[in-house]
Amino acid sequence: MGVIDEAIERLWQRIMARLRSRHRLFEEPKFCEQCQAADQRSKIFILQVSRTKIPYNPFYDELGNFCDNDPNITTIEFKCSRGHEWKEEKKGSGHETFVGAIPKQI
């Protein structure tokens, strides 16, 4: 395989990894922690998804690796069918870095 083919293959692998990462956001099993603590079951509804819009420039480093330095935060607000609300924040394009979950007091 030539150098260009290898570069394209690496880029393709990264694109696919990013897509999988993005979709995993809603594909992984998810439970309300407060319900779990009380040994109860519930559905979880997504109330809102928002994302900061900080401009940034992804780049290729000296080794040719693509560096996605996306500083943007995606915030997802959840509410379970028993009324518990919380939000989760994730950093980066592929939502790969979990910043934290913040329970909301009702």
Residues at the site binding Zn ion, with contacts judged by CB under 5 A: 32, 34-35, 42, 80, 82, 84
Q: Give 8 or 46: the residue with its C-beta nearer to Zn ion.
A: 46
Strand partners of residue 75: 50, 89
Q: In what order do the strands lie in the sheet with 85-91?
A: 44-51, 73-80, 85-91, 97-104
Q: Give 34 or 93: the residue with its C-beta nearer to Zn ion.
A: 34
Q: Give 42 or 93: the residue with its C-beta nearer to Zn ion.
A: 42
CB of 38 to Zn ion, least distance (A): 8
CA dihedral 48, 49, 50, 51 (to 10 degrees): 170
